[in-house]
Amino acid sequence: QFYTAEATIKSIDTSDEWYYIGCGKCNKKLQKEGNHFYCPKCEKEPEKTCPRYKLKLEICDHTATTTCTMFKTEAKKLIKQSARFLIDRDDCDIHEQAEKFQKI
């Protein structure tokens, strides 16, 4: 089941990576095997890969504070860029980018 709530983002936890490489078919996180990726759900090497946001947020409302994870579509709306765009930039430093997320 899904629920909707209105909350304020207190912080974005950037201690872990803010993206993962997902399967182009099922979006599952891929496993790196040597120079290749393997999709555990599709049980094969994917034809396409896609960097996907995985932002860990601390959110709050008037009653409590909790954590949640924001994925591709919602995160792209917040960041206003795709994960692929940020990663593919020549000057992209993934750790520096994570620090910029804190300023949102």
Q: How far apart are CA 62 and CA 59, in angstroms?
A: 11
Domains in the chain, number: 1
Q: How long a stretch of residues is the chain?
A: 104
Q: Are strands 8-13 and 49-60 parallel, antiparallel or unpaired?
A: antiparallel
CB 87 within 8 A of CB 76: no
In this structure, the number of other CB atoms found within 10 A of the CB of residue 52 comes to 21
pLDDT value of position 96: 73
Residue 44 lies inside a defined structural domain of this protein: yes
Report pTM: 0.77
Strands 49-60 and 36-38: unpaired
> Which H or E run includes 21?
strand 19-23
Is 70 within a domain? yes
| Residue 53 structural domain | 8-101
- Supply the pLDDT for residue 94: 63
User: Is residue 69 included in any domain, yes or no?
Assistant: yes
User: Has residue 3 been placed in a domain?
Assistant: no
The verdict on residue 91 lying in a domain is: yes
Q: CATH number, domain at 25? A: 2.40.50.140
**pLDDT tens, N- to C-terminus, the chain (104 residues):** 888 889 999 999 877 888 999 999 999 999 999 999 999 999 999 999 999 999 999 999 999 999 999 998 999 999 888 988 888 875 666 667 767 776 66
Answer whether residue 38 is part of any domain: yes
Q: Determine, yes or no, domain membership for 80.
A: yes
Does some domain include residue 18? yes
- The DSSP element (H or E) to which 89 belongs, if any, is none
